[in-house]
């Protein structure tokens, strides 16, 4: 068995722990001290998040897509694959080291999506970006922490609570989609989405593109 090699570690802003980048052969992992957050072998759910979303937004020119959480770049790469050539994609990543890791170590995994001319990157809190906009985005994709039950940052409750969801609703254009990846199902969260006037569907997806691996949940919440 090839041992894991630690490449780098970085603080999570706000003093809420660290994230660690590790490598084993051609496999990469981003984790906390106790939990793996993402693995380069297991990105089927991240791909599905973008594919399911892009297939549901109305066909029109210059889609504006906001992605919260860069991760290893798989969601971004899929969003680019399933979007039109004139789409504009903004990626918001709170941890600057994650952006640097993508440029220095991880970019090849997803085909170097940060090099695409349609992409802009903001090293900020996605909750603040959502709060500052109204009727701006055709889609907001959130792959932040482990979903509504925040694991890395307690501040992520600002995104998934009633106030955060209402701000996301206002930030979307009519017909827009709020899409959220989660490590598991949460009926209470589904009810919160519906209470915020979203028309919501839940889709179960697998961690591996082959259809195997652990089962995750994607919420697709439409502003109709």
d(Cα 168, Cα 155) in Å, to the nearest integer?
16
Q: What is the pTM of this model?
A: 0.92
Percent of the chain whose predicted confidence (pLDDT) is above 90: 75
Average pLDDT of span 105-111: 98
Name the residue ranges covered by the structural domains of the chain. 43-222
- Please give the C-alpha separations between residue 122 and each of 44, 126, 139, in angstroms, as whole numbers: 25, 9, 17
Size of the chain in residues: 224
Contact 222, 198 (CB under 8 A): yes
d(Cα 25, Cα 114) in Å, to the nearest integer?
23
Phi and psi at residue 84, to the nearest 5°: -75, 165
Residues 163-177 pLDDT 10s: 999 999 999 999 999
Comparing 92-96, 107-111, 209-213, the range with the smallest average pLDDT is: 209-213
Could you tell me which residues are beta bridge partners of residue 89? Answer: 65, 119
* CATH code of the region 43-222: 3.40.50.150
Residues 68-91 pLDDT 10s: 999 999 999 999 999 999 999 999
């Amino acid at each position: 068995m090839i041992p894991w090699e630690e490449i780098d570690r970085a603080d999570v802003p706000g003093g809420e722990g660290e994230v660690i980048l590790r490598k084993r052969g051609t496999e990469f992992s981003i984790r906390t001290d106790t939990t793996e957050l993402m693995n380069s072998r297991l990105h089927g759910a991240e791909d599905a998040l973008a594919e399911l979303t892009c297939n549901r937004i109305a066909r029109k020119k210059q889609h504006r897509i906001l992605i919260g959480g860069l991760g290893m770049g798989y969601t971004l790469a899929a969003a680019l694959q399933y979007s039109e050539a004139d789409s504009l994609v903004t990626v918001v990543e709170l941890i600057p080291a994650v952006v640097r890791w993508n440029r220095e170590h991880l970019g090849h995994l997803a085909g170097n999506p940060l090099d695409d001319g349609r992409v802009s990157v903001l090293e900020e809190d996605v909750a603040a970006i959502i709060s500052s906009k109204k009727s701006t985005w055709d889609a907001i994709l959130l792959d932040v922490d482990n979903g509504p039950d925040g694991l890395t940052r307690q501040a992520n409750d600002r995104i998934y609570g009633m106030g955060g969801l209402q701000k996301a609703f206002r930030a979307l254009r009519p017909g827009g989609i709020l899409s959220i990846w989660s490590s598991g199902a949460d009926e209470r969260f589904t009810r919160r989405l519906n209470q915020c006037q979203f028309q919501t569907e839940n889709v179960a997806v697998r961690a591996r593109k082959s259809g195997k691996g652990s089962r995750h949940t994607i919420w697709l919440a439409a502003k109709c």
